[in-house]
Structure 1
Amino acid sequence: MKVRSRNAIVRGEIGGEFAMSTSWKHCSVIALRILHSRGKATCLSRVRVAAVWRWPVGRGPGSGVWVPGSGGLGVRVRPGWLAGGRAFHRYSSLAAAEVDLDDVDVVERGESEAFSEADREASVAFLRTLGLKDGSLTRLVKKYPLVMSGGFKEGMVSLVQGLSEVGVSEQLASRILEKNPGLIFRILERSVYEDNLAYLQSCGLTAKQLERVVRIYPQSLGASKKLQLEPTVEFLLGLGVTEEKLGKVLSLSPYYLGYRHEISLQPKVAFLLGLGVKRENLGKMIMEQPSILCLSMGENVIPKLKYLESVGVERARFGEMICRYPAMLTSNLDTMKLKVDFFGSKGLIGKNLVNLLTLHPDLLGRSLDSLNLGFVNVQKIGFTQEEVCSILKMHPTVLSSTETHLRKKFDFLTTVMNRSLKEVLTFTAFVTYSLERRIKPRHRVFTWLLAEGLLPQKNYSLRTIIGGSEEYFRDRYLVLHPSAEAMYKEPLEVKAG
């Protein structure tokens, strides 16, 4: 068997404290010699450092742990203290193939400690009920023989039952076991999963949301409720995340449940506030983009901000950009560069580009195909590339309009209103107004007022007719005749009906 070299430090009270930094093979031989010399080791099939345990104050480690192996062989290890506290490692694996068997005595495990054939068959049958196939089951038993014990079976039954009681698929337990057996052992050893599931339920998570949390971040089952879950939830609520949206936030970014907020989250909040993000906007941002505080500021966020600075965006504008479009921070940097390059290729450069990015950062969330299609749609109406850019400088949302929508609006402008297409370049806001709710009703009122002689006969600009607030239009024009008000409202009432 090929031996994988790995550095390790082992400390123990057996045979006096010893420490070494060497390969696992050498480490295994030395450790077993010391254990065997004290009568503590028989032999092994697999022994590995499996967990770190803490004993209550005033109590020491137990008399030893038997780690079963194949063929009735195993090793009994008395755990040794680690320097600097009451934590000690339980030696539960040093692979037999990594140790020369001549260095230790091989003895048979006592009859009372051996797994009977009936026990083995029952354990294998149970593992199969969890959904493990033969290949996975064989690897699992070989690497973690403790799965054959009655204690493990009881633990798994309890875990499956706990998941089922809150509406989470019991198959998740077997998936975790198959992918990460060590994690299952830690979850069972901590035995806090029932309390954690109940707490998450009390936070408003639905069964579907709980299932997503467990599937993506099963470590939440073994996390400390007092040190991690409760403080983090309170922290998110304190930032403005509502109780109604808390379940959504945690289910979309369950990694929050692994954080200690004062260490991992508070510094990120301070960083965002330093960029100009207002505290009152934090909760809204998190609800809109839950993963925002799970990002690495150094690896994910800062490189994007530096790039935006390199194209001319001032640091003082970052706060408003992030508030307008929080997903900007979660986007891919290379994709962001491609979109900025696209705008540059269309003639939007310098100050025009900066204004576009700062006022409409959501455009960075659009696909290149979508942006290009929007640009082409405006060109098809009859504008040159330069003219399209002049429109986009003020109203980039026109890129979201379909060709059909734009053509109806501009056909009405040229055929019904008898106005030039180029007039839009002096009043670009025209592209943002609704044809049915704004353009048609105002044109109809103006036409009638002129026909009735209620307005001076002159050429009114497009801005005069379509621009101006609703209040201004009513006070300036609708008051000229009682019928004007009804004429202006009628299409809206008909449409609403």
Structure 2
Amino acid sequence: MASATATTLFTPNPMFSTEHHSLSPSPTIPKSFTGLCKPFHSRVPTSIPFFHCRRPKFFVRATVIKWRCPKQTIPPNDTGFQKKLLYLESIGIDSFLLIENHPTVITTSLADIRSTVEYITSLDFTAIEFRRMVGMCPEILTTQVSDLIPVFTFLHREVHVPGSDIKRVINRRPRLLVSSVSKRLRPTLYFLQSIGIEEVNKHTDLLSCSVEEKFMPRIDYFENIGFSRRDATSMFRRFPQLFCYSIKNNLEPKYSYFVVEMGRDLKELKEFPQYFSFSLENRIKPRHKQCVEMGVCFPLPALLKTSEVKFQSRLDVCVNSSTPLKTSPLWSAGCDVYDV
């Protein structure tokens, strides 16, 4: 029953056809946006001289866009362009910021933009959710419905995302909607499955990433610092979010501290790649220094996963009792001994 409902959710509705519609005198606003949005005119400084001149509204709007987006060519007194700006403002989109970040919207027809908005909001995305999605990925507005439908179908049928979770998946990673199924989403899915990640539906934010540009450089990095290809792949299988971390700003500094300051063995990283998910300055360094001062040594999970209260309590217990040496078999099992 749930599967049938989910499949029906992604069946295109004739009312959201991607064909160009004749423009009405004023843009149609989806009901979900009514009363929730207001124009962004108030964000523009009114101290600029031309705001005090009696000029046609389109002249003022085009002038502001030119001021905000000096490199963009604005259509001269184009009624269609004016209607497009009014429509964007009516649904709460900052047209100035949108054009600045995604100038393609200038040449995209109002009919296509409206069809995209109506299709996405018909899938129960709220006005607030839609504005947030466009803010994170403005390309959504210029993506045709005929390109959006295959993405929803792919997530449901091939990635096995339940229909009830589709909204959550898209809200978390809006870029999925502008990713090609054949050129990006499906190849990435196959790669993740090939390294042993079976439940990709729990890591859908990775699907819009490039295997060649993002995944392979990170696997290569771990090979370069001493892991075998098999061990490096195993780490990403254990903790797929490792693919998301910057090599320069995350992996390198944390690995350097792990080896130089902590003096730990690479085997620990292989068994606990989640180490890279903790803050170096706020969690790793302070706790390691406290352990050094107290003369104790915890396995990585016991050192980093526990709350601050439990960590301090564990330190007190170790200081006031006999603790196993690092060379003792009990030390490697410390995770169980100290109830992580």
| TM-score, structure 2 normalization | 0.61
Asked whether the 8 Å contact 2:268–2:300 carries over to 1, the reply is yes
Q: Deviations over 1:73-114 (max 9, x none)?
A: xxxxxxxxxxxxxxxxxxxxxxxxxxxxxxxxxxxxxxxxxx
Cα pair distance change 1:445/1:383, threshold 3 Å: farther
Q: Deviations over 1:4-40 (max 9, x none)?
A: xxxxxxxxxxxxxxxxxxxxxxxxxxxxxxxxxxxxx
Q: Does 1:199 align with 2:199?
A: no
Q: Deviations over 1:188-243 (max 9, x none)?
A: xxxxx965332333xx42336266252xxx3x7332578x2464133231xxx357
- Match of residue 340, structure 1, among 172, 189, 209: 189
Greater strand content: 1
Q: Deviations over 1:248-275 (max 9, x none)?
A: 367451246x426xxx555533432454
Q: Counterpart of 2:155 in structure 1: which amino acid?
A: L
Q: How many residue pairs align between the two structures?
A: 264
Residue 378 of structure 1 is matched in structure 2 by: 222
Q: Does 1:308 align with 2:152?
A: no
Find runs of 4+ consecutive structure 1 residues off by over 6 angstroms: none
Q: Does 1:326 align with 2:164?
A: no
Cα pair distance change 1:385/1:213, threshold 3 Å: farther
Q: Does 1:221 align with 2:72?
A: no
- Match of residue 302, structure 2, among 454, 461, 464: 464
Residue 131 of structure 1 is matched in structure 2 by: none
Q: How do 1:7-86 residues align onto structure 2 when only pairs under 5 Å count?
A: none
CA distance in 2, matches of 1:433, 1:330: 31
Q: How do 1:95-174 residues align onto structure 2 when only pairs under 5 Å count?
A: none
Residue 90 of structure 2 is matched in structure 1 by: 235
Structure 2 gap ranges (5+): 1-49, 320-340
Residue 97 of structure 2 is matched in structure 1 by: 245
Residue 337 of structure 2 is matched in structure 1 by: none
CA distance in 1, matches of 2:96, 2:308: 36
Residue 301 of structure 1: how far off its partner (Å): 1.0
CA distance in 1, matches of 2:102, 2:253: 45
Q: Deviations over 1:48-91 (max 9, x none)?
A: xxxxxxxxxxxxxxxxxxxxxxxxxxxxxxxxxxxxxxxxxxxx
CA distance in 2, matches of 1:287, 1:225: 21
| TM-score, structure 1 normalization | 0.44
Asked whether the 8 Å contact 1:276–1:316 carries over to 2, the reply is no
Residue 259 of structure 1 is matched in structure 2 by: 110
Q: Deviations over 1:384-412 (max 9, x none)?
A: 43663444453423454438964664464
Percent identity, aligned pairs only, is: 17
Residue 414 of structure 1: how far off its partner (Å): 5.1
Q: Counterpart of 1:463 in structure 2: which amino acid?
A: P
Q: How do 1:168-187 residues align onto structure 2 when only pairs under 5 Å count?
A: none
Residue 372 of structure 1: how far off its partner (Å): 0.8
- The structure that has the greater radius of gyration is 1
RMSD of aligned alpha carbons? 4.0
Q: Counterpart of 2:78 in structure 1: which amino acid?
A: G
Residue 40 of structure 1 is matched in structure 2 by: none
CA distance in 2, matches of 1:329, 1:277: 13
Q: Does 1:366 align with 2:210?
A: yes
Structure 1 gap ranges (5+): 1-165, 167-192, 451-456, 482-497
Partner SS for 1:313: coil
